[in-house]
Every structure is written in structure tokens, then in C-alpha cells.
Structure 1
């Protein structure tokens, strides 16, 4: 079953500190890369489309010119006006040319009328590429060949230039994004640094808005100033209320203490009366300790002093023994007697008293053992145990365990314990016992 302990922070600040800056930089890089890549693709596509249209148009005009030359010469001659193009004429009475065509360009014989792309490797392994224009008549076949090798070399050079352009502009986008992110995030980082530097020591913190321009960051600083002002008022009222309550309660508690001491000083008191007076005295002391601890918690201040853990535990156990009311439960103390912690007895009494009080409340029989060890104290009971739901929620304010039933209590005792542990640097955990019950551990030296 899982161990119930103080909740850990959900997120680590350092891990997410520069996420917004990184988003801005990545956005710039992606924008620059996508725009440059799109421009490169469009440039290459437009070049290919225009080149193909121009070449095919010229080849069609050369086919027409070759046919006209053939017709004018009475079938004796065929000529391509463009120097880069070669014209071929094959008639049935030219078997040598037909055999040469079949030997050198076997695929040309199967071509239909129109413009065709022919590519491959020659006998020497060099790549070649042609555009071949074909026009076939019953009397003759006309071929116009245009060597595309130079155009392909130019295309490869253009692709390399476009590729390096994409890389260069992406790097420029990275630099621009880094610079822009630094400029954009500088006011936000400055605002965050000023907020972190403020520790709440001043009742009237210095306003943030005058230090920032009237833009989005300035509006955020103004909203934070307003929130800080309202929060300061709430905290101030809370502190004043706690101080007033503490002051007003101390007076009647002092009266109760004085009256109890006077009554206890009388000789010949009945045993039952003496027990009741001692119970009133212990309750007054518990109230005084609790008021002092809560006042320190509200101020987030540590009390001064040192406490012997075994002595405080013995006092608490003695107080609970007087309240058992016949319950078959043994309260025992064992372990070290010299463990001293740097905290006032009031704070230790409240923290340890809540753990012992819960153990006594939920254990109907058996024993409650308080074991003082090296830098720690354990409260072991023989109660009904700990459920998974309880283990996950015990230290939440107002939560009452599944075994609480109709018992008195508001579910704030363990919440106070966890707050005291945070204030004094202690650790508290509650886990199921080896056989039954639970084991509550209060550690004074974090391990």
C-alpha cells in the first residue's frame, strides 16, 4: 500500500522556464524554412514548366519547318532551323538509315507522333537525355532530337543553389528568431525576476507597473500590482485577526491557569476533583501551545527554543492516559531519551500530539507505542489500518478518513502537522503497519 507523505510539487520550474522563448525561436525557424522551401519548389517547378513549354514549342516549329523543307526539296532534303536540334528523315527507300536507327536508337521506331522524353546511359556509361519530336507519314518519318544534357546540368546546379538557399535562410531565421525572442521575452523575464526577488518582507511592496512600458507586459504588471495589493490586504487582515484572537484567548486561558493552580494548591482535595483539575490544566496547556503554534504558522515564523522529544512524548501520553475512560489500550514509550530538536515545545507538542491523538482515537484496543529513534519518532498503533484513499488524502485540509465515523474532529489536525513540518524543515509520513494499524513517522533530520 502506498505511503502517505507530504505532496511533491507537480512541475519543476527550471524545466519549463524557457518554453515560451523556445516556441518563438522554433516558430521563426519553421516560418523561414517553410517559406524558403516553398519558394525553392515553386521556382524549380516554374523553371521546368516554362523550359518544357519553350522546348516543345520550338521542336514543333522545327518539325513543321523540316516537313516544309522536305516538301520544297521534293524529298531530297530536310533541315532543322535551330542549331541545337538534329533532324532525321527516314523513307522506305533508305534501308541504311532505318537499320542505323534501329541499331542506335531502337526505342525511336516505336514512338508515336508528338514530343517524347528519352533518357538513359550510353555505351560509355554517361547519362543522356533527349527530347524527341516525331511526325510519321506513309511516305516518310521525321525526327527532331534536342539534347537536354546541358539543361539537366543547369537544373542540377539550380537545385543545389536552391538547397543551399533554404539552409542559409533557415539559419538566418534561427538568428532572427533568437534575437526577436530575446527582445520580446526581456520584459517578461525582468517582470519574473522582480517577482521572484520579492519575498514578502515589506507590507507595501513597490509597484511594478511604473517600471514597464504601456503594452501587454505593462498591463500584466498592473494586474499583478492590483492582485498583490488585494492579497496584501487579505494577509494583513488575517494576521491581525490571528493576533487579536491569540491576544483575546490568552487572557481567559491565563485566568483558567491561575485558578487551576490555586485549586491544586489546596490540601485534601478529593481524588476525582484532583483528576478533573489536572485534566483542565492539561487542556489549558494544549490550548496555549496550539494558539502559539497557529500564530507562528500564520506569520510563517519559526519559534525559538529546543525540546526533548521523549519528555514531550511522555507528557502527551500521560495526558491521553487520563482520558482513556476504561478503553483497553496501553500507551507506551521506548527508545532514546536524549533526542533534542531545535523547536519550541509548543510546536513539537502540537505536531506529535496530533499523531498520538489520532492513534489513540482509532485504536479501540491493543497499544499505542511511541518509539524515539535517531532523528525521528514513530507512533505505532493497532487500529483498523490505512486504505489507499486515505493514504492519498490524509494531509489535505478538511479530509476525514474512512474510519472516522461519527467521531469528533474537523479533519485539520494532520494539515496543521504538515504545515508545521514545512515551517521547521521536518518530514511526516504515514504508512500501513506490518500486520495491522498504521505507523506515523516524524523525521527531524531530512533523509
Structure 2
């Protein structure tokens, strides 16, 4: 286990050191640039001044040497006329002037003027070299900014990788667990810090989730065994009873209803168990189901539920349609949709149409509002005016089964008369033949 150091502490320390180091480097660079430029400016100016005077004295021994950087003149009111005309009316203070120098080029000067005691003093300073120094300083600062920006970028990338490396490693381990199909403890592989706390929480969550999945698997196995066995006994017993020659028509019809209910319950259990397994492992394909035959069986099984309602329940528009899915899944979907159509229709008709790519169930019941159609597929939602002890789970199960196998189920109000149209669309990839 690595030594404990808070991730927050590492961030604070890292960026504090980064800020201090950057500030120190910038200060040192600014001082260096300033000293370098200032030294270069002074050296160049002095060297140029002394070289200029030496050359002039060599050429003319009678030349009166003077500085080209700083020049001064002091006049009285009577001798002021000897100064340039533009200077004579200047007030006391420092003025910016531009004049043509001895080299024939325009030079920029600072001219200090002072009038006092009847005297007028002029001190002129050539600022052209200062401007050159400013340009050099500006270039140096721009270069320093670019250099420090690149340095900051490099340090930021390095720090981000170093600080976030534990999180990246944790995410990589999680992806590996998904690839190999099993989870292993994460906490022993990370530091004892905030990331370690996250790893411990993930380990605890993984343990709870594994236990939940295991209980769900055991429950499914128990349900499969405990419910299928009595349903199989009921089915076989009703078959034996129906073969008895001394049964009257009334008892025989009741036994048929028991047989249909038993078969419907078996299909529902198989579909729910299949849904539970498939949502964990993925749907199973390869079992081709004849949709027409399933629809016919569903319609016959639903006729006893009409309870003497004046409803015409029929199958029409039959076209060949084979679906790549277990028959129990399609039976559960159609049983819920047809059963709802019968439940909410007091009189009229319920028609089931088999087309080449879909099954359509139309009724003349109470109808629904278009904006409420999608909400009926939510768990626990029942239609307006629903009666009985239903829990509003039928359509929710239908949607889950359809989503699992890639079908599209929808409900909408009828346009011609009051009623509902339910459609199950089978994409090309889910159809056979």
C-alpha cells in the first residue's frame, strides 16, 4: 500500500510550487532583460558618444568636444536670440521636440526649459536611443511571455497526468473487469487517498451488486421450478379429465378454460424468465415463430375473457409473417395488447391484422389522448377508467420485451372512430423468410 497523501493536498502543493516557480522565473527573467537592455543602452550610447568626439577631434584639433546625448545652453534675455526660434517662446518644463540632426535624420529629444532670475536654461537629451531600448525590452518581454506560456503548458500537462494518474489507472482496471467478465478488488491497487476511498466504495458496491444478481438468479431458478411443476400438473390433469367420456359439455368447457389459462400462465412465466436472463446476458435468437399461429392461439385464449360482451373479436388481413424470437415472447406481447383491447371495449369490435412487417390491434373502446399514449408503457400506469385489480405492469413488460428483441411497439388513438390502435413493428433484421 502506498503512503497516504490526500489528492487535494497533492493538487495544492503541485500548483503552489508551479506558481512559485513560475513567478520566480518570470522575476529573474524580467530583471535579466531589464539589466541587459539598460546595460546595452548605456554602453552603446556612451561608446557612440566618445567615438564620435574622438573622430571629430582627430579630424579637427580645434574642435570643442561635447556630448551628443546631453547638451545644455544658458542664455539671458539679451542673448536668447541665438537659440532656435522654436525654443524661444517655450515655457518652463520638459517638452518633446523633433529636429533634424547632424546626420540629416530626424531625432526625438526631450528639452528641459527653465526661466528664472532673468536667465533661460536649455538642456536637450536625445531619446532616440531610449526608444530603441524600449523596443528591445518589448521584444524581450514578448519572448519571455511565449517561453513561459510554453513552459506552463508543458508543466500543466505533466502535472495533470501525474495528479490524475490514479483515476486513470482506476478507470483502466474497471474496463479490464468488464472485458474479462468478473470483478476483482480495486482498493489494494491504489493509494490510500481520495481515489482509494472511491475504490473501496466501488468494491462495496460491487459486492452488493454481485449478491443481488446472485439472489436474482437463485430466485429465477426457484420460480422456474416451483411454478412450472404445478402448471405442468394442472395441464396434464386437465388433458386426462377432458378425455373422460362421462363429462358434460359445461364441465368440458370449464376444463378447456383451465387448460388455456394454464398455457397462458406458462407462457408468461417463460417470457419473464427469458426476459430476466436476457437482460443480463443478451437476447437469444434462432427460434423462428409463426406470428399468424401465435395470433390465432392468443385470440382463442382471449375469447372467454370477453364475459358476454357484444364484441366481435376476429383476425383479418392475414399475411405470412415469421419472427426470429421465442413463441412465448410474442404470445405474451399479443396477449397483453389484445387483452387490453378487450378490457377497455364494452361493445364493438377488436381486430387483429397480420401484415408483412407488423401486427396491428384495433379496437372501438374508450380511446386515449395522443399525449398520454407513451405514458401507458411506464411501470404502474393504468389507462383512464381502468377497473379490476391490475397493477399496470402489462404494457411495461410488453415494452421491455420489444426493446430486448428490437421490435417497436406503439399505441395511438384511432382517427376514424373512437378507439385505440396498437402496433408491433418488426424490423427486417428480426424477421425470417
Same fold (TM over 0.5): yes
1:267-282 alignment, distance < 5 Å = 267=245, 269-282=247-260
TM-score, normalised via structure 2 length: 0.73
Report how far residue 413 of structure 1 moved.
1.6
Hey, which bits of structure 1, 4+ residues long, moved more than 6 A? 119-127
Indicate yes or no: 2:212 matched with 1:240: no
The answer for the alignment partner of 1:251 in structure 2 is 229
Sort the Cα spacing of 1:131 and 1:373 in 2 relative to 1 into closer, same or farther, 3 A. farther
Look up the SS of the partner of 1:322 in the other structure.
helix
Report how many residues are paired.
376
Look up the SS of the partner of 1:142 in the other structure.
strand
CA distance in 1, matches of 2:372, 2:30: 67
Indicate yes or no: 2:52 matched with 1:85: no
Look up the SS of the partner of 2:409 in the other structure.
strand
Q: Any conservation in 1 of the 2:319–2:356 contact (CA below 8 Å)? A: no
2:243 to 252, 257, 265: 265
The answer for the alignment partner of 1:424 in structure 2 is 405
1:351 to 333, 337, 350: 333
Look up the SS of the partner of 1:323 in the other structure.
helix
Report how far residue 312 of structure 1 moved.
0.9
Report how far residue 404 of structure 1 moved.
4.5
Indicate yes or no: 2:325 matched with 1:338: no
1:97-246 alignment, distance < 5 Å = 97=82, 100-102=84-86, 109=89, 111-113=91-93, 115=94, 118=96, 129-137=108-116, 139-199=118-178, 205-246=183-224
Sort the Cα spacing of 1:176 and 1:443 in 2 relative to 1 into closer, same or farther, 3 A. farther
CA distance in 2, matches of 1:349, 1:47: 88
Indicate yes or no: 2:387 matched with 1:409: no
CA distance in 1, matches of 2:408, 2:97: 79
Q: Any conservation in 2 of the 1:427–1:446 contact (CA below 8 Å)? A: no
Report how far residue 309 of structure 1 moved.
0.9
How far does the alpha carbon of each residue in 1:116-145 deviate from its partner, in whole angstroms, 9 at most, with x for none? Answer: 5x3779799988644343322251332323
The answer for the alignment partner of 1:441 in structure 2 is 423
Report how far residue 263 of structure 1 moved.
2.6
The answer for the alignment partner of 1:295 in structure 2 is 273
Look up the SS of the partner of 1:292 in the other structure.
helix
The answer for the alignment partner of 2:53 in structure 1 is none
How far does the alpha carbon of each residue in 1:383-415 deviate from its partner, in whole angstroms, 9 at most, with x for none? Answer: 4444365345333222234x1444432122222
CA distance in 1, matches of 2:414, 2:288: 30
Q: Any conservation in 2 of the 1:136–1:142 contact (CA below 8 Å)? A: yes
1:308-327 alignment, distance < 5 Å = 308-327=290-309
Give the root-mean-square deviation of aligned CA atoms.
3.9
Report how far residue 225 of structure 1 moved.
1.6
CA distance in 2, matches of 1:296, 1:86: 104
Q: Any conservation in 2 of the 1:293–1:347 contact (CA below 8 Å)? A: yes
How far does the alpha carbon of each residue in 1:130-165 deviate from its partner, in whole angstroms, 9 at most, with x for none? Answer: 434332225133232322222222222222222232
Look up the SS of the partner of 1:141 in the other structure.
strand
Look up the SS of the partner of 2:306 in the other structure.
coil
Q: Any conservation in 1 of the 2:294–2:331 contact (CA below 8 Å)? A: yes
CA distance in 1, matches of 2:99, 2:346: 97
How far does the alpha carbon of each residue in 1:190-239 deviate from its partner, in whole angstroms, 9 at most, with x for none? Answer: 4324323445986x733233333444333322321211111111111122
Report how far residue 47 of structure 1 moved.
6.5
